Amino acid sequence: MSSVPTSVPGPSPTGGVADAARAAGAAPTGGPDGLPMPRRAWAIVAVSFGTALVVLDGAIATVALPTIARDLRTDPSAAVLIVTVYQLVLVMSLLPLSGLGDRIGLRRLYQGGQLVFTVATVLCFFAKSLPFLLVVRALQGLGAAAALSVSSALVRAIYPAKQLGRGLGINGVIVSSSAALAPALGGFVLGVAPWPWVFACAVPFAILSLALGRTLPAPPPVRVPYDLGGAVMSAATFGLVITGLESWVHGDSPVVAAAIVLAGLLIGVVFVRHELAQPRPILPVDLLVRPVMALSTTGALTAFLASSAVIIGLPFRLETAYHFAPAAVGAMIVPWPLTVMVVAPTAGWLSDRVPAGLLGGIGMAVSVAGLVALAWLPAHPGWFDVAWRMSLSGSGFGLFLSPNARLIIGSAPKDRTAATGGLIATTRLTGQTLGATLAALLLAHGLASGRASPLIAAGLAAVAGVCSVARLRPGVRAS
C-alpha cells in the first residue's frame, strides 16, 4: 500500500491516511482528544461529504418536480410525494438507526448508509413510473438516515473536546452551503441532462465519503440487545403524526387526519413509557430529563420550525403581494443560508469559549429583530430591503444553532453520542417538516402573503431564545 505525504493528498488517500495514522500510533477509535492529524483532516472531509449528500438530495429534488411529473405523466400534486416520502423516511428512521449504530459500530452504519444511498440513486435511472420512483426515494432516505443518524457522534470522536464547537460549526457550514447550492445546481442539471441526473448529483459525495471511510473513527460497538419494539414504536409515532398533519393541511378528511394523529400520539405515549424502562433507550429519555438537554432540544425544535416556516412561506408573499419574478425571489432568499455559512463556524469557535446559553440568547434576539423587520417590509421593496432582513435573521440562527448542538452533544456521556446525535438530527428534521406543514397551513388559509409567517416565526425564535438563556442558571448548567 502506497503512502501519502501528510500535507499533500495523493491518488490513494484512504490507504495513505490510514498508513499515516498507524505510523503516528493513532488509535482506530478516536480517543478523548480526537483523531491525530492528518487522519483527522481526512475524516472531516469524509463526514462533510456525507452531510452534503443528505442535504443536497433532500433539497435538489424540489426543482425537478414539474419535469418529473410531465415525464412520468402524473399529477403535480402527486409528484410532491417524491420529496415528502424522502423526508418522512428520514424522520422515521433516524432514532432507530442511531440505536443500531451503537450496536454494530458507527463507521459500519455510516458507510452502509452511503452504499444504500448510492445503489438507490442508480435505480432512479430505471424509474418509468411514480410508484417505482417513490420506492427508490424511500431507499435513498433510508441510506441517508443511516449516515445522518451517527454523523454527530463521529464528529465528536474526530475532534478534540476543546475543538468540538468548531467542528460542529464546520458541519453547519456544510449544511448551509449545500442548501444554498441545491436549487441552482438542480436547475443547471435540468438544463443539460434528463431529470435522473438531478439525483445523481449527490453520488460523487457518497463515493468520495466511502473512499475515505477507513479514516473515520471506529468506537467499539456496545454488546447489548437491540430494542426492536422501541424502534418500531419510534417510527410509527413520527410517521403517523406527520402523515396525519400533512393529510389535514392538504384538505383530506379532518376526521381521518385527526384519527391518524391521535393514533401516533397514543403510540408515542406507550413508546416513551417503554423507553423509560430501557437501559439504553433509542429515544434518550434518560438524558432528556436533564434540564440542559430538555431546554436545548426544545430550543432547537422551535428554531428549525421557525426558519423552515418563514423560508417556505416567503416566496409566496414576495410573488403574490409584491409581484417579484421567481429568479428575483431566489436571489432574495439566498442571503439567509449564505450568512449562516459565515456565522456558523465563528459561533462554533466561540462556543468553545463562551457559554452556549449566552450565544443562543443573543442569536435569537437578533433573529427576532430580523423577522419582525421582515414582517414590515416597505410598500415597494427592492432586493436590498429584503436581503438585509434575511441576512440579519440568518445570522441570528447561525449564532444559535452551532453552540446549541455543541451543548447537546457535549453534555451526553461519550457512550451515548450515537443516540444523542440521532436526537439532534431528528429534532432538526421534525422541526423543518413541521415548519413546512405550518407554511402549508398558512397558505391554505390565505395568510402566506401577509405578515403572519414572519411574525409566527419571530414568536418561535423568541421561545428558542428563552430556552437558551434559561440554561445560564447555575442549577441548569450543572445538570
CATH number at residue 420: 1.20.1250.20
The torsion angle over the Cα atoms of residues 308, 312, 313 and 316, rounded to 10 degrees, is 170
> Residues 338-365: pLDDT tens digits?
888 788 778 877 887 888 889 999 999 9
Same domain for 331 and 440, yes or no, is yes
> Residues 48-91: pLDDT tens digits?
887 777 777 766 776 677 777 788 887 765 676 777 788 888 88
pLDDT of residue 476: 62
Same domain for 295 and 395, yes or no, is yes
Kindly state the cell numbers that stand for 273: 413509557
Domain enclosing residue 239, as ranges: 228-277
The phi and psi torsions of 72 (rounded to 5 degrees) equal: -90, 0
- In the predicted structure, residue 458 carries a pLDDT above the cut 90: yes
Same domain for 233 and 85, yes or no, is no
Q: 446: Cβ–Cβ under 8 A, 6 or more apart, which residues?
A: none
User: Per the domain annotation, does 456 fall within a domain?
Assistant: yes
> Which one, of 470, 88, 140, 382, lies nearest residue 245 by Cα?
88
Same domain for 267 and 311, yes or no, is no
User: Per the domain annotation, does 21 fall within a domain?
Assistant: no
pLDDT of residue 372: 94
Q: How many domains does the chain have?
A: 3
User: Per the domain annotation, does 247 fall within a domain?
Assistant: yes
User: Per the domain annotation, does 267 fall within a domain?
Assistant: yes
Same domain for 436 and 475, yes or no, is yes
User: Per the domain annotation, does 221 fall within a domain?
Assistant: no
Same domain for 320 and 234, yes or no, is no
Region 208-226 average pLDDT: 79
User: Per the domain annotation, does 24 fall within a domain?
Assistant: no
Q: Please check whether residue 442 is in contact with residue 453, taking contact to mean a CB–CB distance below 8 angstroms.
A: yes
Residue 360 to residue 303: CA distance in whole angstroms: 10
Same domain for 451 and 389, yes or no, is yes
Choice between 195 and 415, residue whose per-residue pLDDT is larger = 195
Distance of CA 206 to the CA centre of its chain: 17
Same domain for 468 and 407, yes or no, is yes
Same domain for 239 and 322, yes or no, is no
- In the predicted structure, residue 134 carries a pLDDT above the cut 70: yes
> Residues 302-334: pLDDT tens digits?
998 898 888 777 777 787 788 777 667 777 877
From 277, 292, 316, the end of a domain falls on 277
Q: What share of the chain is helix, strand, coil (3-state, %, to 5)?
A: 80, 0, 20
Same domain for 245 and 210, yes or no, is no
Q: 440: Cβ–Cβ under 8 A, 6 or more apart, which residues?
A: 246, 249, 250
Q: Please check whether residue 116 is in contact with residue 146, taking contact to mean a CB–CB distance below 8 angstroms.
A: yes
Residue 158 to residue 226: CA distance in whole angstroms: 26
DSSP single-letter state for residue 129: S
Same domain for 160 and 261, yes or no, is no
Cis peptide, bond prior to residue 38, ω within 30 of zero: yes
* CA–CA distances in Å: residue 330 to residues 80, 187, 209, 247, 391: 20, 12, 30, 28, 14
Side-chain half-sphere exposure of 317, counting CA atoms within 13 A: 27
User: Per the domain annotation, does 288 fall within a domain?
Assistant: yes
- Stated pTM of the model: 0.73
User: Per the domain annotation, does 188 fall within a domain?
Assistant: yes
Same domain for 137 and 155, yes or no, is yes
